[in-house]
Structure formats: structure tokens, C-alpha cells
Chains A and B, each alone.
Chain A
Amino acid sequence: MKSKLFLLVRVLMKSGAGGTRLGIKIGKKRFSSQLLIFIILAACFTPMAVTFGQGFAYMYDALSPIGQEGVILGLGTGAASLAIFFFGLFYVLSTFYLTSDVESLLPLPLKPYEIIGAKFIITVIYEYFTESIFLLPLTVAYGIKSGAGPLFYIYSLIVFLLIPVVPLAIGSIIVVVIMTFTSIGRNKDRLILIGGLVAMFFAIGLNISIQRLAQRSLDPQKLIQMLQQGGNSLIRLTSSIFPGIYFAAMGLANSTNINGLINILLFAGTAVIGVLLFLYVGEHLYFRGVVGISESRAKRKKVTDEELNKAVTANSAIKSYVIMKEIRLLVRTPIYFMNCVLVNFLWPVFLALPFLMQSGGNDMEQIFNMIRSANDTVIFAVAFGISVFAASANAIAASSISREGKNLYITKFLPMSYISQIVAKALSGVFFSTISAIVIAIVAAILLKLNLAVTIFIVIAGIAGTLFISFAGVMVDLLNPKLDWDSEQKAVKQNFNVVINTLIGLVFGGLSAALVIFADLALVPAFLLITGVFGLLSYGMYYLLSTKGVKLLENIIN
């Protein structure tokens, strides 16, 4: 009987399991908006890719005199594999086990390898977008610098297409085995939370190592030293973690001779072995872990009189809406918790990291002192800018309508005016962003030894900025809400409204900070100006919400 594998790939793509990411959705409007998103994302990532490219070219110049330029290829492919592996782990977990389509696929007469294989192929395709940020600059930089012939580019294409296979196969096998033999999957919420926290710590770890690396690679001498001593072992390490990477790097480096072809074939061979091994494990274990995943446990214990008394306290409608419907759901839904709540507390950590890590170095000490000696207005303005940006990046307001999904109709029949509900949604954003602003102010106060007035000014102005950006976020989401989703991840992580609002935050936060600094204002006028302007902007945005926003909400049909 013909395998259903590719049929399933096609259906899953069309139904949006990855399709929405790839812009494959058919239909004119959809296509054009997807194209727009693609262009904007490409515009956002191009500078990053160019920087990588320059870095690779720079490394090439430093390494080619000692005949070690191939190291770049090993490093690039190794780093890409590592990134694919770690980010893939969580993605694999969610597509294999947590999306709602699993439940509709299980009753169909499909073999385990067909389901898991189709999902694997979609994951691989998705990874092409991630890896292109690393590998395209690498190929271009190395190709130009070495004056490579067409074979190099053909091999590069093969490497590009096959490189996600082995890391993802290994990641998938790990996930499948864990899900089969442990009880961790019995509590879906806890599982998502643990997976997400691991991914987040990895991201922080990556951030630290990149900073360390960047710090050390400032000096070409040091860079070469590192690559000769620690660096080579790093490459060996990556190629021993992921079989085949060594072949890929060797194949690319030797594209002019027969060794190149042999290595590329060996590389392709490892990919095939990886897939077969993965399919074998999947065929035998997948169903054991995935069946019953949607079962959830409950205590089923009678609520005591005391508990009931506590639970039925009366609140005003709007307070209850903010606390119960918005904040509680944000905190209790793991995906929302990580992307909307936890992220507020991570900003200060990210900002403080360089200071904490490098406090020993002389160079940093100087920079540190320089920042400390900067005038209070500059510190105030920068901290304000960061608070506004952080408020825009936490996705709470900008996904507040989208998060309702197919339950948006509930907002329509409740006896609460639309503007009250809109404000309630914005307030949940203000709540968490204010906490973020306070944490940023406290971290700045401790690191930079700020006085109390500056700290308080940062918090108050931060609240005004937060109010504006939260109102703006709800407005952006009202204009084009993403209500058609089957996993919560799509409502926040794959929601373009969040990107737009982050850009708004970046522009308003950055511009106002820059204006205040360049106008050379004293602290108090700067504080009054910023708070006043953002107070007015907030009012303007509120007015817009109460007129146009209400109409928009009224007319959304889903």
C-alpha cells in the first residue's frame, strides 16, 4: 500500500501546521499579507545576516595565512546544527505531542512513522528559515573570499538542505524516548513550562557565550590563539555531537577535489541514517507516548465551606475581568506565561548580564564608570526607552484580542461595554509592564548607584509610556486580530501584531530618549516633558480606542 507520508505532509502544510509560518496558505489576501510579513522579517534579519557575513569574512582573513580557514566552515555548520538542535527540541515537542491536530490524526488508519515523519519533514522545512541566517552569510563570505567555483555552491545547497536532518533526528529521538518512558507528559501544562524554561535558559546561556566570544575575538591575535587552542576542540566537539558535520565542513572546504565529493556523499549518508533511525524509533515508540496525552488529572475534591467563601468574594466587573479573565489566564497558560509574563523579568537580567559578567575586566570597568558618570537625564531617558520597549515586546496588549481565538464571541454577549473590556485588556499589559519598569529601575539603581529621585522618575514616566504602548498594542491587535489558531503559540509567537507593536515601542521609546538626550534637558524638565507627552499620547490612543477601537471590536466576526 502506498505510504500516506507525503499526503499527510501536504495536508498538514495546508491546514496550517507550519503552513502559516511558511506563507503557504492559499488565497490572495492571505498571500499578500504573508508576503509583507516575509519582506519585513527579511528586512529585520538582513542586518544581522550582514554582520555575520562580515564576521566570517574577517575571520577568513585572519585564518587563511595559517591555512586554517576551513575552521570557519566547521564553526558555521557546527553552530547552525547546535542552534537547530536546541531550538528544535521544543518545536519538535510541540508539533509531535502538543498541537491539537494530534488528536484528530490518532484515530486515522495511519502508521506512527507516517504521522511523525510528516511532522518531521515540516519541522525540517521550518528550520531552513532559521539556518539561513547563519548559513547564507557563511556561504557568501567564504565563497567570495576563497574564489570558489560552482561546485562549492552546489555542495553548499546540499549541506543547507540536509543540515537540519541529523540534529533534528537526534532531538526527536530524545523527545520521543522521554515522552515514552517518563510520566512527564502526563501533565501537559507542566511539560510545556519545563520545556520552555529549558529553552529560555539555553537562550540566556547562548547570549552569555556569544558575549564572551565577542569580547575575546576583538583581537585577531587572541582569536587565532583561541581557535588554535580551544577553538579546534570546539569544532571537534560539535562534529562529535552531530555526526556528519565534519563531513559537511570537509566537503565544502575541498570542493575543488574528489575529497569534497566523497565527504558530501558521506554527509548525505549520515542524514539518511539519521532519518531511518528516527523513523524506526518513532514507529515503535511514538504511539506509546502520545496516546492519552490529552488526559488531564484532577483532584475532584469537594470544595470546603471556607474555600468557597474565599472564592466567592465580590469584585467590580472590570477588576474581575482584569484579574480573573486576563491576568490569571496569562499566568496559568504556559505559553502565555513564558512569552508574556516571564519575559518582563528577563529584560533586566539581559541588561544586567554584561555588567555582572565583565565587572572584572579593566575595559568594562571604564565603561561602567563612564555610564555612572553620565548625567542623570541620560540614564533616565535610556531607562525610560528600555521600559517602553520592554512593554511593547511582552506581547500582552498586542495579542490580547488574538488570544481570545474562537472564544472572542464571549466579549460580545457579556453585559460589559466594549471600551471597558478593551481597557481591561490594556490594563493587564500595564500591570506586567509596570512591574517590568520597576524592576528595570531597581536594577539600574543598584548597578549605577542612582539616587531615589531618578529611580522614582523612571518608574512614573515608565508607567505613562507603558500605558500608551499597551493602548497602542490593543489597537494594533484590533485592526487585524489573529483569531484562527489551534495552538496558543500561534496567538503570541507567530502573531505579527506583536512585531508591529514592538516596532512602535522601539520607535517611540528610542526617539523620545534620543530627543531628551540631544536637547540636553535637565532631569526634572526631561521627566515632566516625557511624562506629559506620553500622558497625552495615552489619552489620544484611549480616545481612538473608544471610537474606532469599539467599532472594530463590534465588527469582528469569527
Chain B
Amino acid sequence: MIELTNVSKTFGGTVKAVNNLTMTVNNGEIFGFLGPNGAGKTTTIKLITGILNADSGDIRINGLDIRKNTIEAKRQFGYVPDDPNIFLRLKGVEYINFLADVYNVPASERKARIEDLANRFGMTDALGDQIQTYSHGMRQKIVLMGALIHDPSVWILDEPMTGLDPKSSFILKEMMREHADSGKTVFFSTHVLDVAERICDRVAVINKGNVLFCGKIDEMKDLFKKDASLESMFLELTEDEK
């Protein structure tokens, strides 16, 4: 569960990247975070994960405050950043094992988890190679595997589908569904509205740091009083703001 209460973040004293944001991502749901480029999606994610500090407001992950209970709060989630170009000179398996050490994954569980994840994403043949030899999609997959190695209850994924091939994308969506159905939380940002429409239980639309809508897609349809596609509602919502 992720709770944001009156969260604001300003850059350079003037640019309000996130403005008084309040929303809750419940257990057992896939939550889609939508918005145009530069809307404040990545900033919000960085605030939730502790990469940035909010100017005001509270952020809790599974009830743990990211500022006050930092380390414990950080253990709750697995995070996939939008840029998968990290630790390029480590081998895939070394990278995963490093994260397993950092997240205290018991030695007895590691091997099985690595094998399972590698199998699912078709990465078994690449684990022994340095990450710099991977394609963009493979890098995305190894980062995903690293984020999931400690079996976190909260998944925070920044544009996770970018660069994934159709099969991996399908598997990820399947895994997100399984994870939410087991009573845990998936929070992800995306531009791909079709994906959001199909798999999200709830969505939030953000533009210029403000949440324009937060709720089920059906509720959005009620709001617009028509059975439009998410895409056309999204465009209408964000258009008004300009």
C-alpha cells in the first residue's frame, strides 16, 4: 500500500513539479499512473522511492514513512527506474546477487528465485554476460529481475514496458496481475494507454504536477458521461489543462 498525503515538490524555487498530491494505492490493485511528458510522473515516483525529498507532505509505504523510517520503508518495494543502463560492467547474475545481498535475501531462496525469474524472462543464457552486452530490452529485464529478487510486496515500475518484446511484456503483465491478486500492490507509470486500460484496476492522470483524475476507468467514463476510450478521455483531460 502506498499513501501520499499533500505531497509537494518544487524545483528551483519556482517550477512546481508536484502540487499538493494526495492519493492512495491499495493492496491488491494494479494502479496506473498516467500523464503527458513532463507531467510529474517520474518526480512523483522519485519522491515515493526516496530518491527525492518532498518539500511538504507525507509518503508512506505499507504504513512506513519514507523520511522517518527510511530503510525499512525502502525494503518494502522493488523499483524499476526508467533508465535501465546501470552497472553495465557487472554480469547479470552478479548484479542480481548484489541486490540480493543488499535486500538480505536468504541464500537458500536466491538460486530458485533467480532461476525462476530468468526462465520467465528468457534470460538464462545471458546471466553470465556483462550487462553492457545486453540489448535495451534485456537490460530492462535484468533490472526487473533485480527489483523482484527480494519478493517485495510493493512494485514501483517507471515505464516498465519500454523496450520489452511482446512476450516479455505479456509475461510482465501476467506477473503484475498475479502479484495484485495475491493482495499486494503494483504501481506503474506508462504512456501506453491501451495497456493501462486493459490491466489497471485504477488509474491516476497527472498533468503539470496536479492529479486531474484518480479512480476506476469506469468512473472516468461516468465523469465524461460517455463510453469513450481511455485515450480520448485522457486527451480531453490533459487538453483542458493547457
Contacts and interface: CB of A to CB of B under 8 A. Distances in A.
A1 interface: no
Interface string B141-172: 00000000000000000000000000000000
B128 A314 contact: no
Given A298-B129, A414-B74, A554-B53, A329 B102 contact: no
A314 B106 contact: yes
A299 B107 contact: no
A309 B101 contact: no
A411 B238 CA distance: 34
A417 B74 CA distance: 10
A264 B89 CA distance: 50
A301 B89 contact: no
Contacts of B128: 299, 301-303, 307
B104 A317 contact: yes
B94 interface: yes
Interface in B37-54: 46, 49-53
Contacts of A309: 111
Given A298-B126, A309-B111, A314 B90 contact: no
A107 interface: no
B89 A333 contact: yes
Contacts of A407: 85-87
Contact of B94 (A328, A406, A557): A328
A311 interface: yes
Contact of B102 (A308, A332, A416, A555): A416
A313 interface: yes
Given A300-B125, A328-B94, A413 B49 contact: yes
A412 interface: yes
Interface in B119-134: 124-130, 132-134
B114 A308 contact: yes
Contacts of B132: 296
A296 B90 CA distance: 14
Contacts of B105: 314
Nearest to A302: B125
A312 interface: yes
Nearest to B99: A414
Contact of A300 (B90, B110, B129): B129
Interface string A378-412: 00000000000000000000000000001101101
Contacts, number: 112
Interface residues of A, number: 41
A160 interface: no
Contacts of A307: 128
B102 A414 contact: yes
B90 A317 contact: no
Contacts of A308: 93, 111, 114-115, 127
Contacts of A303: 93, 124, 127-128
B97 A324 contact: yes
A315 interface: yes
Nearest to A410: B86
A311 B86 contact: no
A406 B94 CA distance: 21
A416 B86 CA distance: 18
A301 to B, nearest CB: 6
Contacts of B49: 412-413
A329 B88 CA distance: 9
A14 B53 CA distance: 32
B136 interface: no
B98 interface: yes
A325 B95 CA distance: 9
Interface string A425-464: 0000000000000000000000000000000000000000
Interface in A309-337: 309, 311-317, 319-321, 324-325, 328-329, 332-333
A301 B93 CA distance: 13
Nearest to B81: A409
Contacts of B97: 311-313, 320, 324
A28 interface: no
A297 interface: yes
B228 interface: no
Nearest to B94: A324
B79 interface: yes
B34 interface: no
A351 to B, nearest CB: 31
B9 to A, nearest CB: 11
A329 B87 contact: yes
Contacts of B70: 417
A178 B83 CA distance: 34
B71 interface: yes
B133 A297 contact: yes
Contacts of B50: 412-413
Contacts of B213: none
B16 interface: no
B71 to A, nearest CB: 5
A296 B107 contact: no
A555 B89 CA distance: 27
Contacts of A325: 87, 98
Interface string A514-558: 000000000000000000000000000000000000000011010
22 contacts: A298-B133, A300-B125, A301-B125, A302-B124, A303-B124, A303-B128, A308-B127, A312-B97, A312-B107, A312-B110, A317-B101, A324-B94, A325-B98, A328-B94, A332-B89, A409-B81, A412-B49, A412-B51, A413-B74, A415-B71, A415-B74, A415-B75
Interface of A: 189, 296-303, 307-309, 311-317, 319-321, 324-325, 328-329, 332-333, 406-407, 409-410, 412-417, 554-555, 557
Interface of B: 46, 49-53, 70-72, 74-75, 79, 81, 83, 85-87, 89-91, 93-94, 97-98, 100-107, 110-111, 114-115, 124-130, 132-134
Q: Which 3 A-B pairs have the closest CB atoms?
A: A320-B101, A298-B133, A415-B74
Given A311-B94, A320-B97, A417-B70, 13 more contacts: A298-B126, A299-B128, A302-B124, A302-B128, A303-B124, A314-B110, A319-B101, A320-B102, A324-B97, A329-B89, A407-B87, A412-B49, A415-B72
